[in-house]
Every structure is written in structure tokens, then in C-alpha cells.
Amino acid sequence: MPASYDIITFDCYGTLIDWQRGIARAFLAEAEAAGVAAELELEPERVLGIYHEVEPHVQAEAFRSYRAVLAETATRVAEFLGWDMEPAAAERFAASVPAWPPFADTDAALQRLAAAGYALGILSNVDDDLLAGSRQHFAAPFELIVTAQQVRSYKPGHAHFLAAREYIGERRWLHAAQSLFHDVRPCNELGIPVVWINRQNESIEPGGPQPLHIVPTLAALADWLEA
């Protein structure tokens, strides 16, 4: 049985929003517009694999807006693939975030949790305006929003979590996220209970981060909390 909680915070992209589908679609759309998609034989899996490698390095450099992180990451991914991406294309890619689709179970699960009395929050590596666009996909209310723009830091740094802890105070807090690297590990380091939303059916390596519980979807999280 899960413990009782007062507030649940979520990572957004990868947990609530299908960021892999959003990134692949936006990147391939720009490649198609530039006439290089067929020439480079671009496939979503290849693009995403390189993107996964590049973005953390860009975020670890001097702080920049997430819009700038997206544009720079796309440019570097394109360069790796042999494509000299135009700055305007990189900017359009970065601006595509509000169009990235939510997972099918996201909004219904959030509404279930809100109806059950949980306060909800989002801790996200993003800019305020981009997250505001993504929140249009959700009907559930969010009491707490912490962005990279606000704390001038990217997870797995601790700034998001420390800002949330200051706001939440003594209330009982559970975090839920898909990323072991960005969320589960820093929660372990700070003693924050965290549930891993394992949407990709991944495995934890020996000695890796340890979530309190593992569920495959947000709907399964709601089921677990209602048990």
C-alpha cells in the first residue's frame, strides 16, 4: 500500500508529454522542409538516439534558456547527421514544444488525482512560456510550477527540488517521473519519495537509482495511489 501524500509533482516532458514523438516529428518536419530527410535516410529512432546523447551536454554548459538549448541541440544533432541546419529551422524546432502531444492517459490520470484531493505540481527543464503552451493539453489544475527558467538550472541539479521543498513545506510530497537520470537519482540524493513512470519498459542497472515504486503509465500511478 502506498503512503498518504498531500502533493504530487511531475516531470513534464517524457512523463506527461510524449517528448520523443514531439521531438522526432518536429526534427523530421524541418529535415523534410530542407529536402534532406530522404538523402540522409533519417529515422525517428536514429534522431532520438543522438538527441538523447547531445542534450544533456548542452544543458551542462553555461545556463541558457531551454528554447536556446533545443535550438543548439537540434543544430548539433543535424551536424552529426551531415546536415547544416539553418538557424531559422532550429528556432522553429524549439518553438514546436507546445505542439508535442501528451500521452493518451495523462489528462484523465491527472484529473483523477486532483479529484482524489491531491495538489499537483510540475518540475520541468523548460521555459515558462513553453510550459504554458504544453499545459493547454491538461484540464487538471497545478498548484506548483517550477521551471529551469525560474531556478536557472537544469535537472538533475537540485535547484528544482529545493525550490519545490521550500514551497511545499511540511506537506507530504511524492514526485513522479520517467527519467532515472533527471529525476529519480536527485530525488534519492535529497530523500524525496519518487515513483518511476517506466513508459519505455527500461531496466535499472545495478547500483542505479532506486524509486519507491515503479509503474508503466500515469494511469497505473493513479491506480496505485487509489489502492
Q: Is the peptide bond before 98 cis (omega within 30 degrees of 0)?
A: no
Looking at the DSSP bridge assignments, the partners of residue 17 are 13, 102
User: Would you give the distance in Å from CA 122 to the centre of its chain?
Assistant: 10
List C-alpha distances in Å: 136 to 48, 133, 220: 25, 6, 23
Burial of 45 (0-12, 13-18, 19+ CB in 10 A): exposed
Task: Check 11, 105, 127, 183 and give the catalytic one.
Answer: 11
| Residue 183 falls in the annotated catalytic set | no
Instruction: Read off φ and ψ for residue 120, nearest 5 degrees.
Output: -120, 150
What value, to the nearest 5°, has the Cα angle with vertex 28 and ends 104 and 33? 130
Read off the C-alpha cell for 227.
489502492
Rounded Cα distance between 159 and 194, Å, is 16
Residues assigned a catalytic role = 11
